Structures are given as structure tokens and as C-alpha cells.
Structure 1
Amino acid sequence: MTDLTHVRREYLKAGLRRKDLPNDPMALFELWMTQAAEANLSDPTAMVVATVDANGQPWQRIVLLKRFDEQGFIFFTNLGSRKAAQLADNSHISLLFPWHMLERQVAVSGIAEPLSTNDVLSYFVNRPKDSQIAAWVSKQSSPISARGILEAKFLEMKQKFANGEVPLPSFWGGYRVKAASIEFWQGGANRLHDRFLYQRSAVTEPWQIERLAP
């Protein structure tokens, strides 16, 4: 057994107080996202996306957040992927933003709703061309025998679309996560972390705010 009990550090960068919280959690999320980007964190938009399969087994993977507003959090993916198949059966989803260097986490839970084709297209056309081509190449989450298959397919598709625009694949889309709860976690000294949970049962209701014990 590898003993990791000695791997510890104190969290002393900042605190979070109730009087400083806005009524709308998206205002605080925008501030924290801006600060994460300004701190030059590696991949500040990276989030852990958790879904559940038909047997109740949770699955997690890191995905990049691409847009957010008062309506929710948006990400894009192959609609043949494991996460998309699981969301088709169970639209409940959880997101986690692990901003370790700032001693912060944001955890979101809610429902994932598929984006319209127009919303997906408006993002897809602004991707780098090689990323557009890569969307055509990979049957995400399906087994492959060798990396060479992907590389050969990429070169084939690159030739195919060399002289024109890359069309939107029918199997490529995105989701808007509509939050039912958003928790902000700020590390504190002696493991007395600051945690605040925003919750609401309907989008027409105001957010309720609670401080949680660490």
C-alpha cells in the first residue's frame, strides 16, 4: 500500500463570506472564471462532467466549457459518445471546475438539454479547420485497434475537405446544462473551508443561499 497521508498543505489564499455573495450565482461564477483565466491557470475552462449509465454507475471525463450565461453552461461533443448515450437515458448531470491553484472549486448539478442545430453550427464554423475535420474522424468512445487508423482517416478527410468548408457532422452536437444547484468552495486554514450552495427548484424562482459546513 502507498501511504499518502503525509501529502498535505494549508489553504490560505482567500476566504468567502456571505455578505460578499451576489444574489445570482452566475455573477460569482463569471468573476471566478475571469480570475482563473487571469491567473494563467492551465485550461481554466476545463470541467469534470459526470453522467450516470443505465446501471447507476457514474462516469466522469474532462470537457471544456465553451459558453455560459444566465441560461446555463454549454459544451459540445460527439453525439455517439458514451456521455451522449447516457444523457439520452438520464439527463441529470454534474459539472466540477477544479481550480486548485486558486484553492477553489465550483460544483454544478442540473439537467443537460440538447442544443439546436443552429446553436451547434454557430460554434462549429468558428473551430479551427483541423478540429472540424477531427470531428468527422472519431467515433468517440468506440474501440479502435490502433492509433494509425485515426491518423489515416484524418489525412483522408483532410484531403476530402482541402478546397472547401467542412460541413457540420450530423453526429456532432452540444448541451446546455441548466443548473438546479451551484456550490462555491474556497479553501480555508485548518480545513475550515468556506462553502456556499445556491439552489432553486425552478428557473422562475429566486436562488436560495446556504452556508455548508466543510
Structure 2
Amino acid sequence: MEFHPGRLTAIMGPSGSGKSTLMHVMAGLDAPTSGQAWVGEVELSGLNDKGLTNLRRDRIGFIFQAFNLVPTLSALENITLPMDIAGRKPDPAWVDQVIDTVGLRPRLSHRPAELSGGQQQRVACARALASRPDIVFADEPTGNLDSRTGAEILAFLQSSARTLGQTIVMVTHDPVAASYADRVVFLADGRIVDEIDNPTADRVLERMKAFDGTDRTDRTGRNGGA
């Protein structure tokens, strides 16, 4: 499977199908038991712990379901933390645009414990985007957001891919969220079973209805998977 610059890809499938595992392997958070994972020309298994840490810090952004915010830092400090660790100065105009897109301006001085779950999710989204990484991995990025804020963040992810040439990979259960993607990849039991280009929410929903525990054909129509 390849994920190209300038495209937003959604990964979908039943619970336990391997969506998060795939994303963690691609990001170097987990090591594959077989095969290889590459980021550009870099093969991840060839890197030591320091090399993986530097790669994730400099080239990858994460939006986690569990937020993973630092409790002692303010929202703004959490947003700029990856750049602070890397010793890079943020682009103020871009950071301001990200903050306004996720609607955090009034809450920047608050610590995570003082924020709602939805607001913490917005901080996590802003942190992933603020440094303009090559790749953004998003695990249910709108799962704790109201529909309006969720739509704004999805549109921002879509725009970031198309205008900045970022590679964005999003795990989601939501057909509406998937409709913002350029491509949807469907997994079942750890295998690729289908893909849809230029998806709509209705097409995604119809495909999801087919997951009844018996669908084991891959995208070429062969039994077994990719």
C-alpha cells in the first residue's frame, strides 16, 4: 500500500480489522512482524530508537484518540511542543491560522485538565498540523467534536493535503468524515479488501454495510487479501 503526497486517505473497517495497527506501523510506533515500512526513501526498520524519534519529530504529525497532551503545559505550549523540542521556531501566521481553524483562541492559556474532551481534541489536531509535517496520521480526529468543528477540521486536513502537498492518513468509522478523503481503503482481518477513489458518504456507507464477516476478497477480486 502506498500513500502519496498531496492526498488525504481514509482507512476504514470493522473493529479489530487492523486500522490502528497499520497506522502505527507506518509511523514507526510499532515494528512489522514481516515486510517493510517506508517513509519516503527511509526504511523504518533500519533506524535505531534515536533515528525513529528524530523522524517522527521532524517529519510526522499525530492526532491520537487519547489526545496525549502534556498536563502541565498550556494549550498553546502543547501545540508548539514538537517544534520546541526540535529547536525550530514556529511560523506565527500558520500557527494562528491553525488555532483559529480549530477554534482555540479563547482557551490557549488553559491546561488540558481545564478543557473539555472536544477542546483537548482540538489541541491535539492543532499540534499535529502546526509544524507542517510531511505526514499526518490521524486516529479518529473528529471523534470528540461537534459536527461543525469536525467539518472545519476535516476541511482543513483536506486543504493541507492539497495546498501543502502533505500526506494525510486518517482512521475513521464515520462515512461523512471519509467523504473528505481523496481515497478510502477498507480493511478486514488485517487485509485490504477494497478501495474507493473520490468517495461520497453514501458510497462509503453502502460499502461498510457489506462487512458482514464473510467478505474476504481483496481489491482485485481474489480471495485472500492484499
* Shorter-chain TM band: under 0.3
Higher relative contact order (CA 8 A, sep 6+): 2
In terms of fraction of residues, the more strand-rich structure is: 1
Please identify the structure whose Cα radius of gyration is greater: 1
Give the structure-1-normalised TM-score.
Answer: 0.26
Give the structure-2-normalised TM-score.
Answer: 0.25
